[in-house]
């Protein structure tokens, strides 16, 4: 008998992998398709319920594989309907996934790493340090769990949880392909968004293999300020980032780039900054999301006053930039943008950081 640690996690397999596995075990490719559909479309956890698979295949799979999603150990609802799930992985690491309802629209904010190595100044996740990338199964497992909780797949998925998705490229792209598969969650490419801090070579590579929507954490309209707020800018400055993003939406396959801009009191929120951003984004199909800063313990920043955020938004809008101020959701349960922390055994600082909320 194979030990539990060495069993294949069937959530790590995309449709082609599932077909190859069935054929390798002496069965037909369509048996692999049925297996894939049972796991993702029906949310099956037990191989024994998959009655349209040959019994011999189920027995073979039970000897070498299992369906192993992250385990929900804490569910924290907020007054506005937002829910944060703390999920534990098999090695004891914890990640956070957020469900955001908005009328008939349901959005799941999915993590891609345990912690984050990019150290953005205004982000609680960055304070936790970094441990490791998530596997494709650990990424799609968050959607799997959410679908079981909600009774249906979410209408939207955003790769905006813990971690930098493009620093875990292969696993993220594979998981997003499963999200879009007709035999799985059927998330439309326009309703699946990847958010990045700006790893330029990976943006270029993403454009070659995927058509998902792109969001970029901009947060500053010039290099000196962005170097401070988003340190990856020192490696990939705006002069490299902007052309890569423009190329990503060239050709009509994707509509526009979404620029995320956290509003920090006295830091990046002046009308002069707004004018710089107008010049910066000229000629790029764009949507700008202004995000009121969400405080977290130990943060040195303050949220821009509402009137300054509105003046900033109005100036961008007058220039023709489609601009929205994002509604803060789930901040009282530390589920808002920039507040996700989980529990990370930080490989760089060698300490365990426990996120907000009681440990189970």
Beta strands 113-115 and 130-133: pairing type?
antiparallel
Contact predicate 185/143, CB 8 Å: yes
Q: CA end-to-end span of the chain, whole Å?
A: 32
Contact predicate 103/96, CB 8 Å: no
Query: With 0-12 CB in 10 A as exposed, 13-18 as middle and 19+ as buried, what is 351?
Result: exposed
Contact predicate 87/94, CB 8 Å: yes
DSSP string, 241-264: HHHHHHHHTTTSSS--EEEEEEEB
Element (H, E) at 5: none
Contact predicate 176/194, CB 8 Å: yes
Task: Write down the catalytic residue from 109, 116, 245, 337.
Answer: 337
245 is catalytic: no
Listed residue (64, 88, 56) closest to 74, CA to CA: 88
Sign of dihedral through CA atoms 237, 295, 161, 159? negative
Task: Write down the catalytic residue from 19, 96, 164, 260.
Answer: 96
**Spatial separation of the C-alpha atoms in residues 71 and 69, rounded to whole Å:** 6
337 is catalytic: yes
Compute CA distances 70 → 139, 161, 291, whole Å.
9, 15, 29
Element (H, E) at 37: helix 29-40
CB-based contacts of 9, cutoff 8 Å, min separation 6 = 65, 66, 67, 68, 135, 137
Residue-wise over 294-307: b if at least 16 C-beta within 10 A, else e? Answer: bbbeebebebbeee
Contact predicate 214/203, CB 8 Å: yes
- Catalytic (active-site) positions: 96, 337
């Amino acid at each position: 008998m194979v030990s539990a640690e060495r069993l294949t996690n069937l959530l790590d397999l995309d449709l082609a992998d599932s077909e190859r596995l069935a054929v390798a075990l002496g069965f037909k490719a369509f048996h692999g398709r049925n297996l894939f559909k049972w796991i993702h479309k029906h949310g099956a956890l037990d191989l024994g319920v998959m009655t349209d698979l040959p019994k011999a295949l189920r027995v073979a799979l039970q000897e070498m594989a299992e369906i192993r999603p992250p385990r929900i150990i804490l569910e924290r609802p907020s007054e506005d309907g937002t829910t944060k799930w703390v999920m534990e992985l098999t090695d004891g690491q914890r990640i956070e996934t957020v469900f955001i309802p908005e009328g008939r629209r349901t959005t799941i904010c999915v993590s891609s790493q345990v912690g984050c190595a990019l150290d953005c100044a205004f982000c609680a996740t960055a304070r936790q340090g970094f441990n490791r990338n998530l596997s494709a199964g650990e990424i799609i497992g968050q959607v799997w769990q959410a679908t079981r909780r909600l009774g249906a797949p979410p209408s939207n998925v955003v790769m905006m949880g813990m971690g930098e998705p493009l620093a875990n490229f292969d696993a993220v792209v594979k998981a997003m392909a499963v999200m879009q598969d007709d035999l799985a969650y059927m998330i439309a490419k326009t309703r699946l968004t990847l958010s990045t801090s700006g790893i330029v070579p990976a943006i270029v590579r993403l454009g070659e293999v995927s058509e998902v929507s792109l969001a970029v954490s901009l947060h500053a309209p010039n290099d000196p300020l962005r170097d401070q707020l988003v340190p990856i800018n020192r490696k990939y400055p705006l002069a490299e980032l902007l052309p890569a993003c423009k190329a990503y939406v060239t050709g009509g396959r994707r509509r526009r780039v979404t620029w995320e801009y956290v509003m920090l009191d006295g830091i990046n929120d002046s009308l002069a900054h707004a004018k710089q951003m107008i010049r910066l984004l000229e000629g790029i199909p764009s949507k700008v999301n202004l995000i009121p800063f969400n405080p977290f313990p130990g943060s040195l920043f303050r949220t821009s006053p509402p009137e300054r955020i509105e003046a900033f938004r109005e100036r961008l809008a007058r220039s023709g930039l489609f601009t929205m101020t994002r509604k803060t959701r789930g901040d009282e349960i530390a589920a808002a943008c920039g507040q996700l922390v989980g529990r990370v055994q930080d490989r760089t600082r060698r300490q365990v950081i426990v996120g907000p909320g009681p440990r189970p």
